[in-house]
Structure 1
């Protein structure tokens, strides 16, 4: 199913057992619950999906499991986060054959490439497939900023259809729209800036806390698009302490704890990540439990 890059696209977590092997049953269960809640697409093997700790084979296992679960109900996007260009090219070819509907492409990992290198990498990987590609712009985490001149260059390549905007600067999105119009679909990639981004013209929301709170996330999006701003803002303000958990170096652990609290996952992570302990864990659990105690009744949409 071809993605239209509009709506809520959960960046789903990768589920593990305690011994760090893949828990495909829980992984598939969460994806199914996301779709039942009304999301518009699924993204696997992103940053929240612990892409950097997964083997090539495991990524394809997750893709196969997700494909079987989704069964063409929504588009399936897989993250590409590789260190070597030829490995990224090989992977997009294999993933396309295994059922991916599109790709979320990060700049080269580990090596902070310059503008020429970043563009060469992105064009080379995108040109290796006929599937559509979303550019993931997250200089805060990955130290490589895709600038507006770079987006203008990438706009000449029809494979690039959308962008995940994760600079953390709401002004940047407006600059992009002013410079490039509607050439790219824009999806907000920062949970606690999502409503602001939607109101300023974003087409969708690549969400993290949606993994634990799928229906609330979808309702906020739908209310915003319907112009029911007061209702969207009320739910968003309730959600906000939880959404802050996405903007942290421990965002994977945080969101997995939230998934446990809502019955949608486990907290097992893969090393070098470790489960939260002590005051850090207690703080996150307090945020989650305080929010659950005040969980709102959602309006009809």
Structure 2
């Protein structure tokens, strides 16, 4: 069985100022992440503007990521669709383009109840032999893969991992009590990572790792080694920036942070727009303070 663990950044899709996919910049950012020690990469997450991408753009992004990873780490793709038929078809396509796993969203077009949620994930799993990470983010999508839902999915071998993003860290313990080690548990909330590690997550799907990959890998490693006093020092420096990961404009915030830290393009695809005014200044000041504080650790 596939066992994922470690830091898996949710990779931003780099764009030109006119909104075209910048494959070279995207591949360069993925290489930077791998060189700084991440354990896997996830392209086309929500943070990667998945829903805004055309199918040919998704193909270029997945193929480009697989090429630059070159077997060093697994490459997962977000799978975010409205209908089961489209999700099943694209799961097969993404595998043919080289994806080694899928992070599967709930349906983007309809808020499923528990029975429908189970059918959604079982239906996608039936169409692929790729390992699946369930993207459980009820705050954003209104669908919660609760312990009861996961109990209905426990006998689906393709489902190997849960990205836990309820914002309630108690869910980690509830899942461990119910299922032991059956599923890999990944924290999906940057400003809950130390708390989640203390309760037993084995992985982290992170937005701000795009900005500070070496620091995120170090933070996660300290937690896994139970070096919590040292981890808290780094966490306290990074947490104001990590709060940017849980805002509705996390795409704009994290892309601007990448731009400030290592010069990546900050451009986003409409209807998103680049930040301006006080909001932009807030993000800039938050990141600049973290840059300065990191020098003194």
Q: Give me the TM-score of the superposition, normalised by structure 2.
A: 0.98
1:110 positional shift: 2.3
For residues 296 and 222 of structure 1, do their structure 2 counterparts lie closer, same or farther at Cα, with a shift above 3 Å needed? farther
Per-residue CA deviations over 1:261-299 (Å, capped at 9, x if unaligned) read 11152110000101111111111111011111111467x
Question: Could you tell me which residue of structure 2 aligns to residue 66 of structure 1?
Answer: 65
Q: Check if 1:97 corresponds to 2:96.
A: yes
Paired residues of 1:30 and 1:264 also in contact (CA < 8 A): no
Residue 98 of structure 1: CA displacement? 1.1
> In the alignment, which residue of structure 2 is the partner of 1:254?
253
> Displaced runs of 4+ in structure 1, greater than 4 A?
none
How far is 1:173 from its partner? 1.2
Corresponding residue for 2:277? 278
| Residues 1-301 of structure 1 mapped to structure 2, 5 A cutoff | 4-263=3-262, 265-296=264-295
Question: Structure 2 CA distance, aligned partners of 1:294 and 1:121?
Answer: 45
8 A contact 2:190–2:208 mirrored in 1: yes
Residues 29, 264 of structure 1: 8 Å contact kept: no
Q: Retained in 2: the 8 A contact 1:235–1:296? A: no
Alpha-carbon distance between aligned partners in 1 of 2:124 and 2:255, rounded to the nearest angstrom: 31
Is the partner of 2:294 in helix, strand or coil?
coil
Distance 1:56 1:222 in 2: 36
Q: Equivalents in 1 of 2:50, 2:144: separation in Å?
A: 20
Offset, 1:182: 1.1
1:54, CA displacement in angstroms?
0.8
Deviations 1:172-228 (A, max 9, x none): 111111111111000000000011101110011100000010000000011111121
CA contact (8 A) 2:2 2:160 kept: no
Gaps of 5+ in 2: none
Q: CA deviation at 1:4?
A: 2.6
Deviations 1:110-135 (A, max 9, x none): 21111121111111111111110011
Q: Are 1:3 and 1:102, in contact at CA under 8 Å, matched by a contact in 2?
A: no
